[in-house]
Amino acid sequence: MAPSFFNIKELRRLSRQSFRTDRSTDTSSDASHGTAPTSGSLTPPSIGQQSDPALNLQVKDQLLSPSSAAPLSRPLPQPYPNGASNRYSVSGMAGLGSPVASGKGPVLPVSQYSPRITNVPDNTWVYQKVLLVYGTVGDDHVHSLDGTVTVSRLDDSFPAVSWPVCNSHFKALVYMMPGANRLRFDFSSPKLANSGSSNPIHASYLTVHMIPPSGAPPLQLAILMAKDSPGTFDAVPARIEREGNGLDTAIRKFRMAAYLWQAFTAEQMWRNKFGRRVFRFEEEWTTGTANHRDREHGTQRSEARVHVIRTDKTLAELRDLNRAQQNPNASDKGGLYQIAVDAIRDYFKPLPGQDLYVSVLLLDAHWDTMSKTIVGHAALGGSDGNGLYLGIFGSHCLQSYPTSFEEVVPAFTDCTPTDTNHVSNDCNEAGSSWEAANIGIGAHLHETGHLFSLPHQETGIMLRDYVTLNRTFVSREAYSTRTRSKGGPVTQEDECSWHRLDCLRFRSHPCFRLPNDPVLNSDDSVQAWPVDGLTLMAATGISFVEIYGQGDEECHSWIEFPAENGGVQRLVTLSEQDLRSRLPEAKRKGKLRLSVKSHGGGSLDIDDYHKMCSKEACQLKIPSALPGLPKNAYRGNKLGLSQMEGSEPHEFIFTSALRQDRVLSRIIFYHGLAFDGMEFVYDDDSRQLFGKRGGKKGGDSFDMDIRRGEYITGFFVRSGFWIDAIQVLTSLGRRSPLFGNAHGGSAHTLIPPRGYNICGVTGSCGPWVDGFSVIVTK
C-alpha cells in the first residue's frame, strides 16, 4: 500500500522541482526568459512523466525518503562581484555534465580557474558577425598561468576554437549567429589537474544575443583585377604550396581581415561608451570560411560577400600607370583611384542619390624586385563627390593574412623573415610575417577609415598606430624586427585604437546605425549665428566641436555635447575666450578654426572664428522704432561658395523691417535647374530683387496671408557649390514649394536663434545664385 503522504499534487511538484535530465536538447529553458543564470544548461523547466523509463523508480525512491514531503530548498550560486559572467565548475565525476539552470540542481563548487570574461557582460546584445572577447584565468597577482581557453557553442553549430592564455590573460574571437549564442569557455593547463580530461572542471558560460543591423547601409568588400589578370597575389613558394595564392584564397583572407576590422572597431566603440556599434557587410550564402571544419565538410553559411570586379585596363596598363604615379613630378597622382571609381560604379550601378561604401583590395599589386617598388598598388580613401565612398589598398601583404579563426594567433605571431625575393617589406616595417599582416590589414583599415570620412589624427589607426594591430588579438607579442624588441605580454594600454574623435564620427555615421536608434531629422546640417558669441544650431543636435589652433593639421582639443537621457542639444553657444582656453598656451593668440559636427553626421567648418564674428564681417546697423537709436543686425553663416564666374554680392534689408507701413504680400521665385533669384513684393507693389530673373519665365509666386500678419521665419535651402533650391517657412507654419533643383546639394534649414527675427537676405549671384544667408535682428 502506498504511503499516506503520496498524492498526485506532490508528484507533480516534485517532478517540476527535482527531476532533470541532461539528455534533453530543448532550448526553451528558463534562461531564455532572462530568469536563469547563464550556466549553459539546456535542461527544460519540466519533463513529462513518461519521458524516461527510469522515472518511476526515481519517483519511488524519493517518495519513500522521509524528507521528500517538504519542498527542497537549494541555494542559488553566488554571482561574481563584477557581474561580468556567471562561472560554474563542472564536477569531475562522469555523468554529471553541466550544472542545471536556475540553480535547481546540485550546488557544485566554482573553480577558481574558470575563465572570467571582462569585456562582455552576460546577455549582451551585439550587431556584428565576429565578437572580440577578453578575459582572465585565476588571479594574475598571485600566480600567473599559461594554458589554453577553448571556446565552443552549446549547439555545436560552430566548431570549438582554442586560444592561448598568457600570464592569466586571453583574447578570443567568437563567431556570432542571429539570436542567442550560448557559449562555453574551458580552461586547460598542464599545471592543473583534470585539464586534459573529457570533462574539464574549469568552465564558464556566456550568452550573447546578436541582431543583424539590416537598417544600415553595408560596407561592400571588393577585389579589383585587371581584365587579363591571372588572379594571383605575391607569395613565397612555401606559402603557395601550403595554401595557394589564387583568387579563392584571396577571398578568404580578405574576408577574414574584414572580420578583424569589425571585431576591433566594435570593441573600440564599446570602450568609448558607444555600445558595440559597428559597420556591417553585405552577406551571401556560401561555403563557410571562418573555420577549417566548414571548408572540409562544405558547410554553408551566410558570410561577408567579396565582389570580384575586373577593370577595362590590362595588367601592363595598371602597372605602367602606377610606375608613372610614383614619379615625384607626376601630374596625376590619383589614376588608380579613378580607375577603381569607374570600375565600381560600372559594377554596382548605384541609383541617383544612393550612397555606396566600398573597400577595395587591388589584387594585382606586385613587388617588382628589379625596381624595388610595389606596382599596381595605391593606398587612398575618400569620396568621389557623388555618393561613392571608396578606400583602396594593394595585396602585397596578403600572403601573411589569416584565412580562418584558427590561423589568427599564428598569423600575428609568425616571425618568419620577409623574403624580398618574392614579397615586399612595406616601408621597412614588415620585416616578418606577423608585421606584414599588421601593415596590410591595418593600413587597409586606415584607408577604410578615410572612406568613412575620417581625417588623420594625432594617435590611433588614423595616424600609423596600426603597426601594433596584432596586440588587439594576442595576449603575447612575438619578436619585432621593426623595433628589435623581444616582445612579451600585452596589456590593453599597449594596444592600438581608434581615436576618440574617430569614434565620435562613427557614432553619427549612417553605416553605424543600430536597429533601436531613433529616427533623425532629414536635415543633418549645422548653422552658425554670430550672436551672443557664436550660436550653433542643428536639427539633429550638436555632437562635438573640434578646435584648431593656427597651423594645426590634426585636432588636439575638442568639446563634446553628448545626448543625455535621450535628448540632444540643438542650440549651443560658444565664447571665444572659452575656445581659446582649451588650446595650448602657444596657440591661444593665433587664428582659431572650428569644425562643428551634428548627431546626424553633418559638418560645418569655420575657417576663422574671429573674422566670422567680427563687427566688420557680421554686424550692420539698421533703423529702429526709436529715432537716433539704430539696431544691430547680424549676417548668418553663408551657404554656397560664391565662386562662380561673374559672382557679385547681393544684400538688402526688407522694406517691411525698415517701415512699419509696409507689409510683405508675396514672393516671386525664379528658377530652372538651379535657383536664379527671388523678388519680394510689398502691399504697395514696391519690390526688392535678390539674384536675377532667370529660369522659368515670370517665375512662381507664393502669397503671404497679410490679414493674419504672416511673416518669414526661415528658409529651407539645398546647396553645395551654389544654391540649388529654396523654400520659405512662415509664422503660420506654412511652407512654400521647393523652387529649383529639389534633389541637388545638401539640405540646410535657416531658422534664427530664439529671440531673433529675419530682417533681410544676403549672398551673391553669378549666372545664378551661388551664395545665400539671412540677416537677423532682435
Query: Which CATH number goes with the domain that contains 699?
Result: 2.100.10.30
CA 282 and chain centroid, separation: 15
Q: Does 565 lie in the same domain as 586? A: yes
Identify the pLDDT of residue 152: 95
Q: Does any domain span residue 1?
A: no
H or E element that contains 563: none
Instruction: Note whether residue 47 is domain-resident.
Output: yes
Name the amino acid, one letter, at 657: A
Q: Which three cell numbers stand for residue 522?
A: 532629414
Provide φ and ψ at 464, rounded to 5°.
-145, 30
Is 11's pLDDT higher than 50? no
DSSP string, 565-601: TTB--SEEEE-HHHHHHTS-GGGTTS--EEEEEETTS
Which stretch, 327-336, 586-595, 608-617, has highest mean pLDDT? 586-595
In angstroms, the CA 189 to CA 191 distance is: 5
| Paired residues of 147 in beta bridges | 165
User: Residue 690 has what pLDDT?
Assistant: 97
Q: How would you classify the pairing of strands 203-210 and 179-188? A: antiparallel
As a whole number, mean pLDDT of residues 348-362 equals: 94
601 shares its domain with 639: no
Q: In this predicted model, what pLDDT tens digit does every residue of 240-294 receive, in sequence order?
A: 999 999 999 999 999 999 999 999 999 999 999 999 999 999 999 999 999 999 9
Would 329 be classed as within a structural domain? yes
Report if residue 440 sits inside a domain: yes
Same domain, 370 and 324: yes
Q: Rounded mean pLDDT of 580-585? A: 93
Q: Which is nearest to 208 in space by CA: 126, 290, 87, 301? A: 126
List pLDDT tens digits, range 730-753: 999 999 999 999 988 889 999 999
Pairing of strands 203-210, 124-126: parallel
133 and 183 assigned to the same domain: yes
Known catalytic residue at 447: yes
Strand pairing of 526-529 and 534-538?
antiparallel
The CATH number of the domain holding residue 175 is: 2.60.40.10
pLDDT-derived band at 328, boundaries 50, 70, 90: low
Kindly write down the DSSP assignment for every residue of 218-265, as one continuous string: -EEEEEEE-TT--S-----HHHHHHH--SHHHHHHHHHHHHHHHHHHH
- Would you say residue 333 has pLDDT above 70? no
Q: Find the radius of gyration of the CA atoms of the chain.
A: 33
Q: Distance from CA of residue 736 to its chain's centroid?
A: 38
Please report the pLDDT score of residue 382 as a whole number. Answer: 94
| Confidence class for position 443, pLDDT limits 50, 70, 90 | very high
Cα–Cα distance, 515 to 215 (Å, whole number): 6
Q: Alpha-carbon distance 723 to 690, whole Å?
A: 13
**693-726 pLDDT tens trace:** 999 999 999 999 999 999 999 999 999 999 999 9
Q: Is the pLDDT of residue 1 over 70?
A: no
Dist. CA 402–CA 406, nearest whole Å: 8
Q: How many domains does the chain have?
A: 4
Cβ-count burial 412-440 (b if 16+ within 10 Å, e if not): bbbeeebeeebbbbbeebbbbbbbbbbbb
Task: Compute the 3-state secondary structure of the chain and give helix, strand, coil in percent, each to the nearest 5.
Answer: 20, 30, 50
Answer whether residue 462 shows pLDDT above 80.
Answer: yes
DSSP H or E segment with residue 2: none
- The closest alpha carbon to 620, from 628, 630, 629, 610, belongs to 630
Q: In this predicted structure, what is the pLDDT of residue 112?
A: 85
pTM above 0.75, yes or no: yes
Same domain, 308 and 362: yes
pLDDT at 24 over 50: no
Task: Report how far residue 599's alpha carbon sits from residue 544's, in angstroms, rounded to the nearest whole number.
Answer: 8
pLDDT value for 73: 39
Examine the pLDDT at 654 and tell me if it is beyond 60: yes
* Same structural domain, 497 and 533: no
407, 447, 495, 710: the catalytic one is 447
Half-sphere exposure (Cβ direction) of 512: Cα atoms closer than 13 Å: 24
Q: Out of 479, 508, 537, pick the residue that ends a domain.
A: 508
Question: For residue 123, which amino acid is it?
Answer: N
Whether residue 106 has pLDDT greater than 50 = no
For residue 564, what pLDDT is reported?
A: 73
- 199 and 57 co-located in one domain: yes
What's the rounded Cα separation, in Å, for the pair 776 and 704? 20
Other C-beta atoms lying within 10 Å of the C-beta of residue 204? 30
How crowded is residue 143: how many other Cβ atoms within 10 Å of its Cβ? 9
Question: At 582, which CATH number?
Answer: 2.60.40
486, with CB counted inside 10 A (0-12, 13-18, 19+), is exposed
Cα 55 to Cα 22, 67, 171, 612: the distances in Å are 14, 19, 44, 84
- Position 186, amino acid: D
Residue 142 predicted with pLDDT over 90 = no
Q: How many other CB atoms sit within 10 Å of the CB of residue 352?
A: 7
Q: How many other C-beta atoms lie within 10 A of the C-beta of residue 737? A: 13
The b-or-e profile of 526-546 (16+ CB within 10 A means b, else e) is bbbbbbeebbbbbbbbbbbbb
Q: How far apart are CA 511 and CA 506, in angstroms?
A: 8
Q: Does residue 498 form part of some domain?
A: yes
Q: What confidence tier does 320 reach under pLDDT thresholds 50, 70, 90?
A: confident
Sequence-separated (6 or more) residues with CB below 8 Å from residue 602: 523, 524, 525, 526, 538, 540, 746
- pLDDT per residue over 110-131, tens digit each? 688 899 999 999 999 999 999 9
Query: 3-class DSSP state for residue 700?
Result: strand
Helices 247-271 and 433-451: crossing angle, nearest 10°? 70
Shared domain for 434 and 538, answered yes or no, is: no
Q: Are 538 and 599 in contact (CB under 8 A)?
A: yes
Query: Using one digit for the tens of pLDDT, what is the confidence trace for 173-211?
Result: 999 999 999 999 999 988 887 666 666 688 999 999 999
* 2 located within any domain: no
- SS3 of 504, please? helix
Residue 702 makes CB contacts below 8 A (sequence gap 6+) with 666, 667, 668, 669, 728, 736, 737
Number of Cβ within 10 Å of residue 191's Cβ equals 11
52 burial via Cβ count (<10 Å: 0-12, 13-18, 19+): middle
User: What's the pLDDT tens digit per position in 569-580?
Assistant: 999 999 999 999
Q: What is the pLDDT of residue 96?
A: 36
Average pLDDT taken over every residue of the chain: 84
Q: How far is CA 309 from the centre of its chain?
A: 25
How much is the pLDDT for 625? 57
CB contact at 8 A, 337 and 390: yes
Do 709 and 767 lie in a common domain? yes
pLDDT at 728 over 70: yes
Distance CA 691, CA 770 (A): 9
Long-range contacts of 77-80 (CB under 8 A, 24+ apart): 77/37, 77/39, 77/103, 77/107, 77/110, 79/37, 80/116
Residues 591 and 629 reside in one and the same domain: no
Do 608 and 637 sit in the same domain of this protein?
no
**pLDDT at position 100, please?**
44
pLDDT at 69: 37
Asked whether 29 and 36 are in contact (CB, 8 A), the reply is yes
Q: What pLDDT was estimated at residue 286?
A: 95
- Residue 308 pLDDT: 97
Domain-located, residue 110: yes
Residue 66 has pLDDT above 50, yes or no: no
Specify if 548 maps to a domain. Answer: yes
Side-chain half-sphere CA neighbours of 559 within 13 A: 20
**What integer pLDDT is reported at residue 329 of this predicted model?**
57
According to the model, what pLDDT value does residue 35 have? 37
With H, G, I as helix, E, B as strand and everything else as coil, classify residue 769: strand
Q: Which helix (H) or strand (E) holds 343?
A: helix 335-348
Nearest one of 6, 510, 16 to 279, comparing CA atoms: 510
Same domain, 249 and 331: yes
Given a cut of 90, whether residue 105 has pLDDT beyond it is no
Binned at pLDDT 50, 70 and 90, residue 562 comes out as confident
| Percent of all residues in the chain with a pLDDT value above 90, rounded to a whole number | 67
Question: Domain range holding 243?
Answer: 219-508
**Which of 613, 642, 672 represents a domain boundary (last residue)?**
613
Query: Of 579, 594, 613, at which residue does a domain stop?
Result: 613
